[in-house]
Amino acid sequence: MKKIMILYASVGGGHFKAASGINNYINEHYPDYKTELVDALKYTNKLVDKIVVNSYVNMARYSPKMWGEIYKFSEKQYSVANFSNAVQKVLSKKLFKLFKDEHPDVVISTHPFITEMVASLKKHKKTSCKLCVIMTDYASHKFWEIKHEYIDMYFVANNEMKHTLINNGIVGSKINVTGIPVEPAFTKEYNKEEIYKEFALSPDKRTFLIFGGGQFGMSNIKDFFTALLNVTEDIQIIAIAGKGKKTQKLFEKLAKNSDKKVVILGYTTKVPELMQISDFVISKPGGLTTTEILVSQIPFIIINPVPGQEEENANFLTNNGAAVRIWDASKALPFIEQFISDSFRIENMKIMQKHIAKPSSTKDIVEKILS
C-alpha cells in the first residue's frame, strides 16, 4: 500500500483546508492509498510554530502595513528567505525522524516553509518521495520557488501563476493549472427551501453574507456591517463571526435595533449551504475563501485584504472582473447601494467567476498526483 503524507502549517486556515480537502478526497475515492495529515510546523517544533503563527496573526491584525513591507521585501531580496533557510535546516532534522518512521511515497505540501523542509531532505538524499506542492493563493511568491529543482509537481490557481513560475526558471511540465482544492461540500446542490427554513430567512429577499475576519478580526468591520444595516432595500443579512467572540458581540449589539432580518453565527460548518442562498458576499480575499466564493459564483465585495498574499488575490480578482473592492469603509453604504443596483455588472461578474473557477480542482490534483 502506497503512503501519502499531506503536510500543512496552521498559518491562516487556508493551508489546512486545502490539505484536508485533498486528504478527504483520497480517503473517499482511493482506499488502496494510506494518507497521513500532519501539521508539520507544529510537529517539528511547537515553540517555533507558536512564534511563527502568532507573529503572522498579530502583524496581519495590528500591523498589516509592516507585514506587507516584509512580503514585498522578501519577494525582491533573499535575506528573509535565507533566514527561513537557516531555520528550516534545523527543523528538517526533526521532520526526517517522521520520514524514517513513515517512509512516505508521496508528500503533498500546502505551505512554502514546509515545502522547503522536504526539499532540503530530498537535496541531502534523506528521502526519495515525490514532492507535490499546492499553492494556496492567486499569485506566486519567491518563497514557493526555493529549491524548486527538488519539487516534482506544482499545482497553481491560474495561468498567470504558471507563466510567472516559468519566467523564474521552473520547468513548465512541472506546473499544473488546476485551481486551489475546495471541499466537495461547495460543489453540491442543496435544497434551498430547507436552508431558508432552517435559518428563518425569506426566499423573497436578497441575502447578504458577511464574514467578520476569522482569526484576524477587523478593526473596521463595524463600518461595513453598519452600512449593510442601513441599505435602503429590505435585504436580509447573515453575519459570520467565526471564532471571534468580540466580533460576534459587536454584530449582536449593532443588529439589536435594526428592522432588518439578521442571522448572526459564530463558527459554523454550514458555509457551503449559506453560500448557495446568498446573493452577495462581503469578505477578505483569503485564498481558500476566494476559491469557495468563485465555485459558488456569488458576487464578491472585497474588504480589508491583508497586504501581501490577500492584496495580490484582490488584484487578480478585480483585474479579471470577478470581484469589486471597497477601499474606504466610510463610503461602504453608497458603494453597496450602487453596486447591487447594477444588474449588468453583477451578471458579468458571475460569468468571469465561472470562467476562473475550477470546481473539480481537488479531483484533478489527486488524479494527476496518483497517475
Judge whether 146 and 116 are in contact, CB under 8 Å: yes
Q: Is residue 144 within 8 Å of 136, Cβ to Cβ?
A: no
Q: Identify the residue with better confidence: 85 or 19.
A: 19
As a whole number, the mean pLDDT across the chain is: 87
The C-alpha atoms of residue 250 and residue 245 are separated, in whole angstroms, by 9
Does the structural domain 185-356 have CATH classification 3.40.50.2000? yes
CA dist., res. 43 & res. 360, Å (int): 31
Binning pLDDT at 50, 70 and 90, where does residue 1 land? confident
Which cell goes with 15?
493551508
- What is the mean predicted confidence (pLDDT) over 242-247? 87
Q: Which CATH class is domain 2-181?
A: alpha beta
In the block, cell 463600518 appears at 223
Strand partners, 106: 4, 130
Q: Where are the domains of the chain?
A: 2-181, 185-356
User: Could you tell me the pTM of the whole model?
Assistant: 0.86
Residue 72 above 70 pLDDT?
no
Residues 178-229 pLDDT 10s? 999 998 899 999 999 999 999 999 999 999 999 987 555 556 899 999 999 9
Tell me which of 87-91, 163-167, 319-323, 360-364 is least confident.
87-91
What gap in Å lies between CA 82 and CA 193, rounded to an integer? Answer: 54
Give the pLDDT confidence score for residue 355 in this predicted structure. 94
How far apart, in whole angstroms, are the C-alpha atoms of residue 183 and residue 189? 13
Q: What is the pLDDT of residue 64?
A: 56
126-155, pLDDT tens digit by residue? 999 999 999 999 998 888 888 999 999 999
User: Are the C-beta atoms of 24 and 266 separated by less than 8 Å?
Assistant: no
Rounded to whole angstroms, how far apart are CA atoms 17 and 148? 24
Average pLDDT over residues 41-67: 54
Q: Give the Cα separation of 153 and 76 in Å (integer).
A: 24
Same CATH topology for 2-181 and 185-356?
Answer: yes
pLDDT tens readout for residues 330-340: 999 999 999 99
Q: How far apart are CA 202 and CA 219, in angstroms?
A: 31
Q: What distances in angstroms separate CA 264 from CA 251, 253, 256, 273, one per listed residue?
A: 7, 11, 11, 15
**H helical segments located in the chain:** 14-29, 40-44, 46-62, 64-76, 79-102, 112-123, 159-167, 192-198, 221-229, 245-255, 271-276, 287-296, 309-319, 332-340, 343-356, 361-370
